[in-house]
Structure 1
């Protein structure tokens, strides 16, 4: 058994929190208040409650099937390798679009807070992206410890923002509570939805825990508590302190900090934006790089990428491919002036499809009739509706799924031809070996 680093409870919670939190929290309280007024607090609470069945479903599946394949492994157990390959492609090949887009958002917030322009935005985004790749290239020991420090610092900064602003709270800011009617709460919830996504991203790290069956439950519970305190605390404080001003603001957290600590608000907002985006990328890269190695191990991606698929190892080849693909996406976006929104929506369609696939697999694999099974049923139904709203961006997961299934079919046909010809030294055999799964070494 590997004696290399395994994720502890604190580090695991930090990775989970990093995957859920994102730079959107800096602006979304204002957007939600603009849609529903103070009643937007109901949307925050409803989505936090919805997180419970999603999170517990993935925790239960990870405890039963701890593997770097994550959701792809769950789908393989439930429906077979063909579908699991498609799911793996959805997550792995969406990451090179999602990571640069996330880094750019962080750069935008930092530049805005500092009063800088596009050059600073791009420089900060590039720095964040490179730092996240470098952290994961060193190994999970480094990336998990960095994540623990960053999430701790982020939590402290958010608590400072809340606690220093609370003396300015006014209950009168709660009225009128629902100025745009009850339906507006649903609109606010749709805006806030993606601040609660990310549970599927860390399933690929389930095999990295010392005791997945116990640790995943504890980490999931701790993450739900941390997310609940930070999100609800920030949302309630924004509504009570800023009142009508909240809906008109583009940077509500900066306003909140200005009320509490004064002129240092912009610099702290810039730091928080960078921490939020780095934490998200760090968690997603840790999961995606291990997924790529697992897909190569299973013959879905070329075999050389499988190096590092075992718990405790560093999948540097898979990470290097993600780095190259991310660079190509950045170059394409800059050369074609592709809008950030389109890049993020395309990546989101793939990530939502992964979540739906994982939850549907949970319906098949988890004990029927149990509380966690019912949670998976409800969450799968809700997430399927959300996926349908991806519209034309569903073309990307369809194309990636077709590529995965086609690649597996082609590889299987090639292996069959080699076996039929009886010529293991042929050129066709060498082509097959490039895609075949690596043999397991004896420990």
Structure 2
């Protein structure tokens, strides 16, 4: 007699798409480049004149150990929590929650600022006003949310093309303006004194804060230990070349006019392209803005899911936070926050400069926390460890120029502390911290995605 079985083999699980070198570099470069190259050269020139080039150089030098430290930590602890993962391992859950809230709270402000910059370029090219610029920015934000809802693998492919096109336009603008550079535009070199360099660095930090967003994508690589350092090196090379070339040509070609323009990229292109500069700059602005907003939303949405999973934020945020999944609830919360910030900005309560400086303050706080964690987690007395010390000092100096805006990370930290305290009481216990010398269990969430080995 033949015995039949009704058991059928379980269907094979679909393979999870992972970031490769190309798409990973595109996402990281898109996060670091951001819309800063569209507006910040002019704002920095207004603050420090030709000496703003020194601010660019200082921040580029500072970003090297920042990027390498975050890459080393991300390779060891790949997780959607990013910097919050590193801080948790170094200082415990409460500190990690505060850092997570800093980044999560900064993203809606920065996203709206980025979208407004892109909207201004496009509206200017079309001869439209501020209302049209706001509407265009809203469309960019909506498109970025849609791309992230589809899935990170699609966002990475789109961004690979966007960053390649962007780099070509930025280098083209610099090459076009180079013949018009003159040494007279570099004198007097420091018209406002040394303090102006620090002020310029304070606003320029907006253009160097993308390493935090990229750190949240570490868990999406097929082999973080192999791929993340390579992606970081490629991104550093691209960003250094583009930023330095644009900073020098903006001062050298535009001179004092650099401080009075809202669209420095358009003015650079106009040196050779004439009236065609506006549509070219508008297209570049649209690509750049979408790329930056897309990457920040990708990183922040995963951070929100990790915070919810770990009890540092409402638990319902954790839905969709697994590798390869789409954290749509976290994206929805970010959409609400972006809408609120957009309404405030449209009412004239704050301007673009205020939005950018507020974002820079929060992200500089995150950077400093990540660097201090690197000092605790990375091998000591190595060149990278000493470089992290130097970058920590420089980042703290940049934060000192934020002034009253330091209230924002302070308030976010207090809200985080209040939530974790109430959540701990609701569970009948306070959040646990790892005690030195005790065995450590395999961590989850913002505690990290792999063991220490």
Alignment length (residue pairs) = 417
**How far 1:140 sits from its partner (Å)?**
0.5
Q: Which of these residues, 335, 359, 362, is aligned with residue 350 of structure 1?
A: 362
Tell me the TM-score normalised to structure 1 length: 0.87
Q: Which of these residues, 264, 270, 283, is aligned with residue 295 of structure 2?
A: 283
The aligned residue for residue 432 of structure 1 is none
Q: Which of these residues, 175, 178, 188, is aligned with residue 189 of structure 2?
A: 178
| Superposition pairs of residues 309-328 of structure 1, within 5 angstroms | 309-328=321-340
The aligned residue for residue 424 of structure 1 is none
Of residues 337-346 and 360-369 in structure 1, the stretch that sits farther from structure 2 once superposed is 337-346
- Structure 1 pair 244/98, CA: closer, same or farther in 2 (3 Å)? closer
**How far 1:367 sits from its partner (Å)?**
0.6
Q: Which of these residues, 147, 150, 161, is aligned with residue 149 of structure 1?
A: 161
Q: 2: distance between equivalents of 1:336 and 1:12?
A: 37
Q: 1: distance between equivalents of 2:334 and 2:259?
A: 38
The aligned residue for residue 422 of structure 1 is none
The aligned residue for residue 135 of structure 2 is 123
Q: 1: distance between equivalents of 2:101 and 2:331?
A: 15
Q: 2: distance between equivalents of 1:186 and 1:390?
A: 10
Counterpart secondary structure, 2:41 = helix
- Structure 1 pair 348/144, CA: closer, same or farther in 2 (3 Å)? same
Is 2:60 the partner of 1:48? Answer: yes
- Structure 1 pair 261/212, CA: closer, same or farther in 2 (3 Å)? same
Counterpart secondary structure, 2:427 = helix
Of residues 401-410 and 342-351 in structure 1, the stretch that sits farther from structure 2 once superposed is 342-351
Q: 2: distance between equivalents of 1:327 and 1:246?
A: 32
Q: Please identify which structure carries the higher helix content.
A: 1
Structure 2 unaligned blocks of 5 or more = 1-12, 430-444, 446-453
**How far 1:181 sits from its partner (Å)?**
7.7
The aligned residue for residue 420 of structure 1 is none
Q: 2: distance between equivalents of 1:25 and 1:409?
A: 41
The aligned residue for residue 314 of structure 2 is 302
Contact 1:85 1:295 in 2 (8 A): yes
Structure 1 unaligned blocks of 5 or more = 418-436, 438-443
| Superposition pairs of residues 102-251 of structure 1, within 5 angstroms | 102-166=114-178, 168-173=179-184, 176=187, 178=189, 180=191, 183=194, 185-251=197-263
- Structure 1 pair 325/195, CA: closer, same or farther in 2 (3 Å)? closer
Is 2:381 the partner of 1:374? Answer: no
Is 2:105 the partner of 1:93? Answer: yes
- Structure 1 pair 405/15, CA: closer, same or farther in 2 (3 Å)? same
Contact 2:102 2:413 in 1 (8 A): yes
Q: 2: distance between equivalents of 1:406 and 1:170?
A: 54
Contact 1:345 1:390 in 2 (8 A): yes
Contact 2:202 2:357 in 1 (8 A): no
- Structure 1 pair 134/38, CA: closer, same or farther in 2 (3 Å)? same
Q: 2: distance between equivalents of 1:223 and 1:177?
A: 33
Contact 1:35 1:180 in 2 (8 A): no
The aligned residue for residue 434 of structure 1 is none
**How far 1:49 sits from its partner (Å)?**
1.7
Q: 2: distance between equivalents of 1:17 and 1:207?
A: 17
- Structure 1 pair 90/262, CA: closer, same or farther in 2 (3 Å)? same
Is 2:44 the partner of 1:69? Answer: no
The aligned residue for residue 6 of structure 1 is 18
Contact 2:186 2:255 in 1 (8 A): no
Contact 1:173 1:239 in 2 (8 A): no
Of residues 173-182 and 90-99 in structure 1, the stretch that sits farther from structure 2 once superposed is 173-182
Contact 2:23 2:160 in 1 (8 A): yes
Q: 2: distance between equivalents of 1:201 and 1:380?
A: 18
Contact 1:91 1:288 in 2 (8 A): yes
Counterpart secondary structure, 2:308 = helix
Q: 2: distance between equivalents of 1:279 and 1:29?
A: 19
Contact 1:2 1:312 in 2 (8 A): no
**How far 1:347 sits from its partner (Å)?**
3.2
**How far 1:258 sits from its partner (Å)?**
1.6
- Structure 1 pair 251/327, CA: closer, same or farther in 2 (3 Å)? closer
Q: 2: distance between equivalents of 1:343 and 1:248?
A: 19
Of residues 350-359 and 249-258 in structure 1, the stretch that sits farther from structure 2 once superposed is 249-258
Tell me the TM-score normalised to structure 2 length: 0.85
Counterpart secondary structure, 1:200 = helix
Q: 1: distance between equivalents of 2:37 and 2:117?
A: 11
Q: 2: distance between equivalents of 1:247 and 1:390?
A: 21
- Structure 1 pair 170/296, CA: closer, same or farther in 2 (3 Å)? closer
